[in-house]
Chains A and B, each alone.
Chain A
Amino acid sequence: MIGVRKGLNDKLISWKMAGGVKQSAADMIERGARNKMVVIGFTIIVFMVLTAVLAPVLPIADPTEQNLNEDELLQPPSSENWFGTDELGRDVFSRVLWGARVSLLVATLAVLVSMVIGIVLGLTAGYFGGKVDYFISGTIDLFWTFPPFLLALAFAAGLGAGLYNVILAISISYWAGFARLMRGQALSMRERQFVEASRALGAGHLRMMFVHVLPNCIAPLIVWASIGVADAITIESSLSFLGVGTKPPTPSWGWMLQSGMLYLDGASWVSTFPGIAMVFTILGFNLLGDGLRDVLDPRMKGLRR
């Protein structure tokens, strides 16, 4: 599902390498505040994050508490259960809220881990160049060939279901995009005068890489991370849907949709509400990423991946 961004990421990188536009993170955020997509996306994300963080303290039902009375199962939305109840009498509203917690946690951690892998490898390759670059780039390209979902499926099937296994599986599958981006950035940065100046002042490699080159690559990383979180949510929920993601009774959107499918005829609320929440969240991160990218590079407008 995420295989097509290839050429366009290269385009983003080559544009950056050509000298491109001003791209400090502060500058991007300032201009982003005037972009409609960024504002809408950001609002959605803040809303979902608040829901996820506040889920344990809100006065809602326990998401795993079953209520097996005949008249509590698969009840339609009511004033008591806003989104109805599922096949085990659990409150769907509360499960959707807790599901946001799981999805956002998995997606954010997975993107953070893959970002760290990507930054370290990409920066090393781009900064040192030569043989180091040759080997690291080769590895990056190998992983880049496969759609992250297919890789994640292989790793998740091998590791088995579970929260940390999913995070691990997504991270191993997703880092190549970050590494490519970072390598391109580092390649263009190392020729800049301020980097040469600090080299002349005797700065070590690590200092040059992480103090001078990395901070100047933050803006495109933010764009990529935002789109990455959206992708990771999709991958996580798809894996859970297939039974290799998070394990029940953890309330995960993908798992809820899977079990809700059985009751589509008659109790469609069991799967529709988690589905809406999921699309809403993915849309938020996509909008933010798309909008910020437009801000960063107006030439890329409307050209996605």
Chain B
Amino acid sequence: MADLIAYVARKILLAIPVILLATLIVFLMLYMTGDPINALSPPHASPELKDALREKYGLDRPPYEQYGLFLWHLVHGDLGVSVGFATRDLQVGDLIVERLPRTLELMAIGLSISYSIGIPLGIFSALRHNSLGDRSVMVFTLLAYAMPSFWLGILFMLFFAVKLDWLPLGGTTGGFASIILPAITLGIGNAALTTRMMRSSTLEVIRQDFITQLRSRGLPEKEIIYKHAVKNAILPVITVIGLDIGWFVAGSVVVETVFSWPGIGMLITTSISNADFPVVRGCILVLAMFVIAGNLMADILYAYVDPRVRLG
């Protein structure tokens, strides 16, 4: 147990430079197009107003001091204020907290969908290796993976909302029905990856000696597969669940925009079109933290499951 704690502590320390890189990138975002004041002031602002704003946002200080200040504010949970027309001077942190539950809800349901499709399908495919069923599943995974999520979302909208009129087109007014299409759209690409991983993991396990040994002892095939093979095969698939967060974070930006789902992703898109830089960078930073947390989770789970990792 002590080695596990040491391992986790080391991993957390190693996450610090990653967090710093994320903050540096979002900090630099403002400077990529030249003078950041242009991005922060309203259109046609007078030079006097610009100077006043420059002082207000601390842009008159040297860059390293600005970055230091940015970090200092971050540590205190202060992400700055919005410069968008409708939300000017509102706290970015408040705007994000307001949207956060929506994104979490979408990601959680998407994640459940992707695993409840991927795992059974992967097992099915592996047990019927090289059969027609297996090949169809593989074609499905290829297609699902090649589909950019916004295109898949548009197709779903076209069929289930426009043509069949079964589900709402977007937004949140339909209650639970509203989340079905966005969540499936978000989950299906990852379901394809999970299927492939589950399939190869199962294939690997059922070829091992202990399975042959169980067969020779005359255990029923069902018991061998579900009690012994799947239990071993599922482990490596489940441990990387944290890495999937990256997929869902990236996907949520696009999917939320397609379905007008009012989460952080949609906030990014609207803020981009409103030229509301502080909100964009706040959102991206929050999403980056999700990714880092997901990676950390995967590392820890992995070490928990496989003690050899902790020593390395």
Interface residues of A (CB under 8 A from B): 1-4, 6-7, 138, 142-143, 145-147, 149-151, 153-155, 157-160, 230, 234, 237-238, 241-244, 254, 257-258, 260-261, 264-265, 268, 271-272, 275, 278-279, 282-283, 286-287, 290, 302-305
Query: When the two chains form the complex, which single residue of B196, B197, B246, B281 contacts A147, counting CB atoms closer than 8 Å?
Result: B246
Closest to A160 in B: B33
Contacts A1-B149, A150-B288, A302-B196 hold; do A287 and B32 have CB atoms under 8 A apart?
no
Closest to B246 in A: A3
Number of cross-chain contacts by CB at 8 Å: 158
Sort A-B residue pairs by CB-CB distance and give the 6 closest, nearest first: A3-B246, A158-B29, A158-B32, A149-B250, A147-B246, A283-B146
In chain B, positions 77-109 with a C-beta closer than 8 Å to chain A are none
Q: Write the nearest CB–CB distance from A261 to chain B, whole angstroms.
A: 6
Closest to B280 in A: A157
B190 cross-chain contacts in A, Cβ below 8 A: 4
| CA–CA, A241 and B273, complex, Å | 12
| CA–CA, A279 and B145, complex, Å | 10
In chain B, positions 9-43 with a C-beta closer than 8 Å to chain A are 17-18, 21-22, 25-26, 28-33
Q: Write the nearest CB–CB distance from A239 to chain B, whole angstroms.
A: 9
A286→B142 contact, CB < 8 A: yes
B162→A265 contact, CB < 8 A: yes
Interface status of B138 (Cβ within 8 A of chain A): yes
| CA–CA, A130 and B149, complex, Å | 42
Interface 9-mer from B173-181, B213-221, B251-259: B251-259
A275 cross-chain contacts in B, Cβ below 8 A: 151, 154-155
Residue pairs across A and B with Cβ atoms less than 8 A apart, 27 shown, are: A4-B190, A4-B193, A145-B295, A147-B247, A149-B253, A150-B246, A150-B250, A153-B253, A154-B26, A154-B284, A155-B29, A157-B284, A158-B30, A158-B31, A159-B32, A160-B33, A238-B149, A238-B254, A243-B273, A244-B272, A257-B154, A261-B258, A272-B158, A283-B146, A302-B200, A303-B200, A304-B196
Closest to B170 in A: A261
Q: Write the nearest CB–CB distance from A262 to chain B, whole angstroms.
A: 11
B157 cross-chain contacts in A, Cβ below 8 A: 261, 264
Instruction: Write the B172-213 contact mask toward A (1 if CB under 8 angstroms, else 0).
Output: 000000000000000001100100110110010000000000
B154→A243 contact, CB < 8 A: no
Closest to A285 in B: B146
Contacts A4-B247, A145-B18 hold; do A241 and B150 have CB atoms under 8 A apart?
yes
| CA–CA, A147 and B21, complex, Å | 14
| CA–CA, A302 and B200, complex, Å | 7
Give the number of residues in B that approach A within 8 Å (Cβ atoms).
Answer: 61
B247 cross-chain contacts in A, Cβ below 8 A: 1-4, 147
Q: Write the nearest CB–CB distance from A266 to chain B, whole angstroms.
A: 9
Query: When the two chains form the complex, which single residue of B33, B148, B269 contacts A159, counting CB atoms closer than 8 Å?
Result: B33
Interface status of B249 (Cβ within 8 A of chain A): yes
A4→B243 contact, CB < 8 A: yes
Q: Write the nearest CB–CB distance from B188 to chain A, whole angstroms.
A: 11
The DSSP consensus for interface residues of chain B is helix
Contacts A154-B284, A243-B272 hold; do A283 and B142 have CB atoms under 8 A apart?
yes
A254 cross-chain contacts in B, Cβ below 8 A: 148, 150
Instruction: Write the B129-151 contact mask toward A (1 if CB under 8 angstroms, else 0).
Output: 00000000010011101111111
A158 cross-chain contacts in B, Cβ below 8 A: 28-33
A264→B147 contact, CB < 8 A: no
B287→A241 contact, CB < 8 A: no
| CA–CA, A64 and B151, complex, Å | 23
Contacts A1-B251, A278-B151 hold; do A151 and B25 have CB atoms under 8 A apart?
yes
A268→B158 contact, CB < 8 A: yes
Contacts A147-B249, A265-B162, A304-B196 hold; do A154 and B145 have CB atoms under 8 A apart?
no
Beyond the given pairs A154-B29, A264-B158, 4 more chain A to chain B contacts, judged by CB atoms under 8 angstroms and listed by A's residue number, are: A143-B21, A147-B250, A150-B250, A278-B151
Query: When the two chains form the complex, which single residue of B154, B240, B291 contacts A261, counting CB atoms closer than 8 Å?
Result: B154
Closest to A139 in B: B21
Contacts A3-B250, A304-B196 hold; do A147 and B150 have CB atoms under 8 A apart?
no
B291→A146 contact, CB < 8 A: yes
| CA–CA, A150 and B287, complex, Å | 8
A3→B150 contact, CB < 8 A: no
Interface status of B268 (Cβ within 8 A of chain A): yes
| CA–CA, A145 and B292, complex, Å | 7
A155 cross-chain contacts in B, Cβ below 8 A: 25, 29, 32
A303→B196 contact, CB < 8 A: yes
Q: Write the nearest CB–CB distance from B264 to chain A, whole angstroms.
A: 12
Q: Write the nearest CB–CB distance from A148 to chain B, whole angstroms.
A: 8
A282→B28 contact, CB < 8 A: no
A264→B154 contact, CB < 8 A: yes
| CA–CA, A79 and B193, complex, Å | 41
Closest to B239 in A: A7
